[in-house]
Amino acid sequence: MAETSKADGGRLTTHVLDTATGKPAAGLSIALYRLDGSARTHLKTVATNADGRCDAPLLAGREFGIGEYELVFAAGDYLRGQGTELPKPAFLDSVPIRFGMAEPVHYHVPLLISPYGYSTYRGS
């Protein structure tokens, strides 16, 4: 089971930028999961605001726990909603990013997307 930390300093945030348009990806759905070995537990689903960010941290304070997580970005739904014609099946539809949080600090996991590529990094 994932070790938890009750430290108030731990938090998880994200944001999404559409590199094809050079704009924030507004209205993109993101699902957050906690990983525990082969178990995958859904914690919440949120959508990005007009700035491509979530209105609140995905995890913070007592919700934050040290362990492994996965963010699944609904990139295909977002791109189709922007009027982008995607092949069937789309090259990128759901974009999963698995990562670990080892200490109760700020983890920022952004996503840069386009119809045929994406990148991520540990931001600040």
Binding residues: 15, 53, 121
3-state helix, strand, coil in the chain (%, to 5): 10, 45, 45
Q: Tokens 């840069």 belong to which residue?
A: 112
Q: Residue 73: beta bridge partners? A: 30, 95
Question: Which segments are annotated as binding site for substrate?
Answer: 15, 53, 121
The SS3 of residue 16 is strand
Total Cβ atoms within 10 A of residue 84: 15
